[in-house]
Every structure is written in C-alpha cells, then in structure tokens.
Structure 1
C-alpha cells in the first residue's frame, strides 16, 4: 500500500501529474487493505435503544479486509478522500434495517455478486482517488486516472433501466446496499460510477459533493425531479447541511430564489455566505403538538413568514428530506400547483399530511432517489467549472470515522464531513491552483464550522 501512496504522492507539484500517476499500473495490488466496517455479529448491539442513543463509534470498526477481485466492467481505486453521508449513519445504527440483508440478496444474484455477501460490510458512498486496475471490457478509464465515484450501482440487464437507470430493478447504492465502499484505503466500483476529479480541489474536497450534490441536482434540476426554472421560489429544509447546502447553490446558480430553513443563527450566516438572502430560523417553530397531532396553526404561521420574505409568494418547490417532522407543513406551504420533492426521511419515514391541501390545490409530491449517471455527471461538471463548491467543514482520519459519523448522527456538523483515505494530510491533489485561487473563499466557506 505504501508503494501505491508513494507513486500517487509523486504527482504533487509535478509538471505532468498524469505521467507520474501512470506508474501505479506497474505496482502490485495489496492482498488486503484497511476499511471501515460494521460486523454481522453485532447487528443486535443497540437492541432496545432509541435511534438517537445509538452510537456509531461503537459499531464502526477500522479493520484489515481482503482485497476483492476486479470483475468485468469494474474498477479498483485507491481512495485518497471520502465523506460521511446519512446512509452511513443508518448503516452504523442498523436502522431502519441491517444492511446485511441487502448484501445477502445481492449475493444471490450472480457468481460475481457473491463477493459482496460477507460477515462484514465496508461502508461509504463517496470517494475521490486514483484508478489502480480496471476489469475486462472497461475502455473509458485506465490506471492512473484521477476520479471521483458516484454511488449508483446498476446491472442494466433489464429494459426498465434503459430510460432512467434509477428505475433499474437492480439499482443499488454503493457502500450501503453493496460492499467495498469508499470509507477505506481501496474501493471496488463499477466503471460507470467514475467521473473526472475536479482539478482545482483537494482529495477530501472532491469526495464530498458526490452523493449529496447529485441527489440535490436530480431533486431540483432534472426533468425527473422538480424541473426548477429561473424565478422559482424554493423552500429548502436544512439549508446549511450536507444536502441542503448544495440545493441552495443549485437554486442560486439556476436563477431561483432559495428560502433557507435552518435551526440557528450560525447556520443562517452560512446560508447568507452562500448568497442566499431569505432565511428562516425554525428553532421557534413546533409543528407537532404531541407525537400524534400536528399543529396547523404553526403551519399557518410558518407560511406567513415565508410570504413576508418573498413579497407574498408561496414556494414553487419545497425541497424535502427531514420527513415526518416537516412533511405536513411542506405540503401545506407549497403554492397552488407547486411541487414537494422528497428524498430521505431523517426524522422518520411515516409521513402525515392533510390531503385537502394537496388535492384541492393541485400540488404534486415527487419521490427522488440519488441520481442516474447523466445527472451525477452534470452535477460533477458544475463542480469542475466552479459553479458549485464543496461544503466541507471538517476532515477526519480513517480511524476517526466513528466520531465523524457520530457527529452527523447528532447533527453536530455543518455541510459535509470528510474522511481521509490514503491521503496522509489535507490539501493534497490540487492540480489547478490558479483556478482554485479564484474560488478559494467559496471553497473554504464551511471550513472549521
């Protein structure tokens, strides 16, 4: 592993980094590597505890694991940087189900997929690094290429996946529903997960946008989502968080007006720093009277504050991801004919809303899940062009992944939380320092928050 890292480090400051990186093709692949795992024999370790009391620091382990063989259409990458997403939180607390069920089902699909059904699960759905090997049939990528990986894993053997790969019956999220994820020194991906690494970003910065930026792009911009247009008013929950911070940038970049919902003055300041002018601190709102009863008066008060900021307009689009806690008010405040576009449910999956406000006012609810390859590629292209910037706030070592995941679980973070893989320190991997300098303030906006 050290020889691989040494070869990659030769590209730092080199006049021709690509030439230096091609040397990895001649190096042997190690038999094992360090990865962050959950273990099948520990899935009951939090039995009886409430979700908020389950501690990822106890369930996530860094251990040596065997390097998988590289199959047709696949690539093995040296992971220099990765990031924590909420699906890693779910995996680590074994909610809503243990991910070992995903691995077992995938393992029954083919001789190749059997590799994924193991008593440990290497987690993580983001990565930036260098291609080490490619399998038979891969022609677009070669050893030495600097890449980022999106997390859509598809088989594409079914006709349903060829209009929108997210509809493939065998669609899975890499590192969550498959093994060999990105929180590790090496990762196994399908070659059609790879995209060019933005040259002006460090490894940890480049790893951060993958899942959340692509997810937000499909939700807001794509014709599969809300089809946001210039002039739209977009209500964004959790606007300073890992997902919301990209939704804010996409709204501003696309000529829409974001209304940012946050929970503290510090988070409000971050949104204003991104260029948003309309911000609501939701800490004074209580949308539920008790566990069973929502407070319609609070819905009305919230809607009135939105209109006071927008000059009387209701949101054309509500960007939903908290779920149970906010879904009722989201449906209520969307404008007549407006759209609530939803992914995830970090506050609970069982949503309740008053259907009169949906059907009588011709509103739509659109379900959205990650992104297809084209959407992920376009979202990454915006990052590479300096239109969308990483929202990295803090970076941890691989050995600190449990703490990083705990911070996300407890919402004790801003933006995205990065994790170093093989990279020995932050700030490495920048190949275009001049372009970076023009965007340095935006790139560092979330740092140390």
Structure 2
C-alpha cells in the first residue's frame, strides 16, 4: 500500500507507471459483519451505537470486472446510509448484497460475510476493466453512488428508474470507506482541482441528491424567486440545498437546531433563519399525536420572515418528525420534495391540506449520472462549495459515524483513507485562494 500511496501522490507519473504498481491481495476497510447483524435486536434506535458494529479490518481485494474500476481511495465521507447500515435498520444490508449477487455475471463477489461501507470517495484510478474507455490509471476522480446495469428500457430515460439501480456502498459491497474501492466506470467524475482530497470527497452523495431534489426536472424544478423551506439547512443535505437555492435565484428559509448552525447558514448567505430548538416547536407532543397548532405557529413564523409568502417548495428529508408540518406550510399548489426519512419512515400528515390546496409530494432518490455530473461541475467552477466540518482517520470511523447519528455535526464529516494528512491533493491553487473563505467556512 505504501507503493500505491507513493505512486498516486507523485508528480508527472505516467498512466503506465501507475498501472504497473502491484495491487495488494487485501486492504483495510470499514465493515459491518453479517454475524453481528442481530446485535441491536430489541433495542430502541436512540440506544444503538453504530460504532460497536463498525470494524476496520483487512478484506480481500475484489476482481475488477469489464465495466469496473479499482480506485485508490484518498478520502471518503460519512452519509446517513452508513449510519443505517451500522444500525442494521430498517434491515441488515446483507440481503441487498445477496440479491445483487444473483442478478448479473460478476456480481457474486458482492455477497460476502462482510460489507465494506461508504458512498463517497476521492482518489486515483489504479486499474480499469477491459471495456472501460472513460478513465485511465492515474486519473484523479470523485465518485457518485449510482450503481446501475442499464439493461432495462426503464433506465434509459432516467437511470434512477432502472429496476437494477442500487446505491454503491449501501446496496453493493466494496464502498468508499477503505483504502481501495470498486466502482462502475460511469460513477466517476473529475476531481475538482482546487480542493483537497477530503474536501472533494464530501459532496458526491448529498450535493447530487439536493441537485435532483431542487433543480432537476425530476425534482421540484426550482425557479428564480421561489421561496424554499430547507430543513436541517446546516447539515449534509441542507447545506448544499441552501447554496443551490441561493445560486439559482431562490429565497431559502433555513431551519436549524442551534445558534452555531444559524451562524453557518448566514455565512452562506441565508438571511431567513429559524432555530427550531430556540422556538421550542413540538410537532409531536405525544408519541402518536401531532399538534396542528404547532404547524400553524411554525407557518406564521415562516410568513413573518418572508413577508407573508408561504414556501413554494419544502425541502424534506427528516421524515416523520417534520412531514406533517411540511405539508401544512407549503403554499397552495406548492411542492414537498422528499428524499429521506432520517427521523422515521412512517409519515403522518393531514391530507386535507394536500388535496384541497392542490399541493404535490414528489419523491426523489439520489441522482442520475447527468445530474451528478452537473452538480460536480458547479463545484469545479467554484459556484458551490463543500461544507466539510470535521475530518477523522479511517481508524476512528466509529466515532465519525456516531457523530452523524447523534446530529452533533455540521455539514459533512470526512474520513482520511490513504491520504497522509489534511490539505493534500490541491492542483489549482489560484482557484482555491479565490474561494478559500467559502471552502473552509464550516471548518472548526
């Protein structure tokens, strides 16, 4: 592995030279184990500790298929799907790996008693499959997390509709939280040259997801002047949503949970901020009962901030805790666009506020290759910036995931894999200097 690090960080090294560096038979990676998938059985989610389920251990290096690429992972980041994987909820991911193994030739290698997690990476191409033409050894890349076969017609208009669409590192094995990773060639995009390895690895999943939710024709198709309510505006998804709304001429209403998070969204340019904890909102005063008066109080506060305007779009991802309020506050004819349910999957809302006021609920999930590419292009051009706040070494992956699980983080939490320290990997120093304050505004 030291040879690989030396090669991928060397200047003026050729593709042939990197392609000739020996690939080890095994590598270190963060995994969950099938033998431990019942370790939290009977426990409440709040009592589960994902750090107990995550292990950093040696795993066998997988064979590279014709359309696949082996990447030396310099850095990765933590997403909620890694939290869910480490909690084994809503169900263990080993069923995903077993089903994938039965689908296409070569997929059998994903069915293992371990699952290498992680759905982001920045790194350097080491090996390419026989059919790969889009990248070569030595290319500096970032990855998006859409794994798709594209053998069904449904996937050719929007690859997220393909029945064989999966999220890499969650529904497939050999994800990004390791020294090596296996990806499809069509997951790779150029690494933004003005970012460090850990900064470049922070954006793939959450930024692409937010782009599809807000900007794409497959989401809310946000237009200039739209008022957009953003839950968790200083978190992983929300911090990119806030930037996209501002960049696209919209008006974000940023909901946060602390003064520090309010400070961060204001630093991004978000002027309309609600600290939900300071306001003491209790949408669920009882476990199975919501309080419409709290929805009304929340809606009144939103209108006070916007000058009497209800949100055209509600950017949803907390799920159960907030969904009733989201449906209530959206304007007549407005859109609630949802991509996740981090507080619970069973959404309860008053349908009268949906059907009688002609509102729409739009479900979105990650992004297709075109959407991910466009999102990455915005970062490359310095129009959207990573919101990395904290960086951990791979050996402390349990602590990193626990921080996200308990919502103690701002923006994104990064993980160093092969990178020997922070602040490495920058090629375009001029662009970096021009945007440095925005790139680093989430760092402690």
How high is the TM-score relative to the length of structure 2?
0.99
Does 1:379 find its partner at 2:371? no
1:7–1:20 CA contact under 8 A, matched in 2: no
Does 1:10 find its partner at 2:18? no
Does 1:253 find its partner at 2:247? yes
Does 1:274 find its partner at 2:272? no
Question: Partner residue of 2:351?
Answer: 355
Of 19-28 and 287-296, the range deviating more from structure 2:
19-28
C-alpha distance in 2, partners of 1:8/1:177? Answer: 28
SS of 2:220's partner is coil
Q: Deviations over 1:32-81 (max 9, x none)?
A: 10010000000011111111111111100000000001001110000000
Equivalence map 1:309-388=2 (5 Å): 309-388=305-384
1:39–1:120 CA contact under 8 A, matched in 2: yes
Of 109-118 and 72-81, the range deviating more from structure 2:
109-118
- In the TM superposition, residue 108 of structure 1 has moved relative to its aligned partner by 1.1
Question: Partner residue of 1:298?
Answer: 294
Does 1:223 find its partner at 2:217? yes
Question: Partner residue of 1:162?
Answer: 156
Q: Structure 2: where are the runs of 5+ without partners?
A: none
- In the TM superposition, residue 9 of structure 1 has moved relative to its aligned partner by 2.2
4+ aligned runs moved over 2 Å, structure 1: 19-23
Q: Deviations over 1:157-192 (max 9, x none)?
A: 000000000000000000000000000000000000
- In the TM superposition, residue 22 of structure 1 has moved relative to its aligned partner by 5.6
Equivalence map 1:27-426=2 (5 Å): 27-283=21-277, 284-426=280-422
Does 1:437 find its partner at 2:433? yes
Q: Deviations over 1:80-139 (max 9, x none)?
A: 000000000000000000000100111111331000000000000000000001101111
Q: Structure 1: where are the runs of 5+ without partners?
A: none
C-alpha distance in 2, partners of 1:134/1:27? Answer: 13
Q: Deviations over 1:188-230 (max 9, x none)?
A: 0000000000000000000000000000000000000000000
C-alpha distance in 2, partners of 1:159/1:320? Answer: 30
SS of 2:322's partner is helix
SS of 1:129's partner is strand
C-alpha distance in 2, partners of 1:108/1:287? Answer: 44
**Cα RMSD (Å) of the superposition?**
0.8
C-alpha distance in 2, partners of 1:203/1:103? Answer: 29
SS of 2:57's partner is strand
Say how many residue pairs are matched: 442
C-alpha distance in 2, partners of 1:374/1:52? Answer: 37
2:192–2:380 CA contact under 8 A, matched in 1: yes
Of 237-246 and 25-34, the range deviating more from structure 2:
25-34
C-alpha distance in 2, partners of 1:288/1:50? Answer: 18
2:15–2:136 CA contact under 8 A, matched in 1: no
1:287–1:325 CA contact under 8 A, matched in 2: yes
C-alpha distance in 2, partners of 1:412/1:178? Answer: 28
How high is the TM-score relative to the length of structure 1?
0.98
Of 161-170 and 110-119, the range deviating more from structure 2:
110-119
C-alpha distance in 2, partners of 1:331/1:23? Answer: 57
- In the TM superposition, residue 20 of structure 1 has moved relative to its aligned partner by 5.4
- In the TM superposition, residue 29 of structure 1 has moved relative to its aligned partner by 1.1
SS of 2:126's partner is strand
